[in-house]
Structure 1
């Protein structure tokens, strides 16, 4: 068996993610990927068992990086306003640094092609749930169902991110997400959730 080369694996991952974002999952074949990376198709199988394994590992890698970045400097004990602001900033920083990976993540997050049983985001999920619960206990936000909370706390953020990534708002006018716009959206979200 040939030795694994971390740089080669990274190139395979990056090209596969870009191909999937641009052409969809059906547009990805091991032959096309090998050609893009300038390797033989058999080399891909040193790193991945098959196409499903490749997709799952790509998804898990993107998710792990996103969650790690989102939790940078974050504590579930933070005040709600400070914690939510940090979450938004961390998430936006990750998305701006890795826009293609984010598009891949969004494209396949709810896909039946992903083996969700292999994905264990326990640390991230626990931190987010504790943050939400602590804010309710401290009387900082209304006692809402988790679904309503997530929709209100993160829905506006992700809508602005979509506008930002497409460089246009709903009317087709040029749009860029600035810190000023993000802070204004946060103010409105905090007001909507305030106890």
Structure 2
């Protein structure tokens, strides 16, 4: 049995993300991934059972990276408004610094493949984020709505601004960021 090399695994993930963003799910193959990652096709099967296994693990890997960035520097002692702003800024920073990951997540989460795969539940990666929002609701700072709805009002504007930025329609500058932070806060505060 061949031993696994973490660098090869990461090279396979990176090659897969690049190809998915270039050619999409329907045209991707293990041989194309292997060629891009500069490994043999057989090497991929040391790490993954099949293409679906690889895509599922890649999705979980990217979600974990995103979740770590989203909660960076969040502290339960912070005022709720500051927690919301920090979450939005962290999300934007991740997206701008990891465009390929963001584009992969956007494409993957809207793909029929998402429903087909039996993916690992990633909600535990966001537990502390949910806890911050619940704390804000208990303190009376946030509307008493479903936590997922509140987080959607914080994340979706960031994602939309990032998409517009990547298309050259808007700049993801401080002024635009401040506007969406204020609009989101106005929408969710109690």
TM-score scaled to structure 1, two decimals? 0.86
What's the counterpart of residue 56 of structure 1? 56
Query: Structure 1 pair 109/77, CA: closer, same or farther in 2 (3 Å)?
Result: farther
The 3 A distance-change label for structure 1 pair 58 and 123 is closer
Task: Tell me, in whole angstroms, the C-alpha distance in 2 between the residues paired with 1:30 and 1:104.
Answer: 17
Residue in 2 aligned with 1:172? none
CA 1:84/1:35 → structure 2, altered by over 3 Å: closer, same or farther? same
Q: What is the Cα deviation at residue 139 of structure 1?
A: 1.6
Contact persistence 1:71–1:90 (CA under 8 A) = yes
Find the aligned partners of 1:12 and 1:148 in 2 and give their Cα distance: 35
Question: How large is the RMSD of aligned CA atoms in angstroms?
Answer: 1.9
For residue 117 of structure 1, report the CA deviation from its aligned partner: 4.1
**Alpha-carbon distance in 1 for matches of 2:149, 2:93:** 25
Q: How many residues align?
A: 188
Report the secondary structure of 2:113's partner residue: coil
Q: Is the 8 A contact 1:152 1:193 kept in 2?
A: yes
Residue 171 of structure 1 corresponds to none
Residue 160 (1) aligns with residue 166 (2): no
Can you give the 5+ residue segments of structure 1 that lack an aligned partner in the other structure?
169-174
1:194, CA displacement in angstroms? 2.7
Q: Given the two structures, how large is their TM-score scaled by the length of structure 2?
A: 0.88
Contact 1:62 1:101 in 2 (8 A): yes
Structure 2 unaligned regions, length at least 5: none
Shift in Å at residue 98 of structure 1?
A: 1.0
How far 1:46 moved relative to its partner? Answer: 1.1
> Where do 1:1-195 residues align within 5 Å?
1-114=1-114, 115-124=117-126, 126-168=127-169, 175-195=170-190
Q: Closer, same or farther in 2 for the Cα pair 1:116/1:128, shift >3 Å? A: farther
SS in structure 2 opposite 1:144? coil
How has the CA–CA distance of structure 1 residues 120 and 157 changed in structure 2, closer, same or farther, with 3 Å as cutoff? closer
User: What displacement does 1:40 show?
Assistant: 1.7
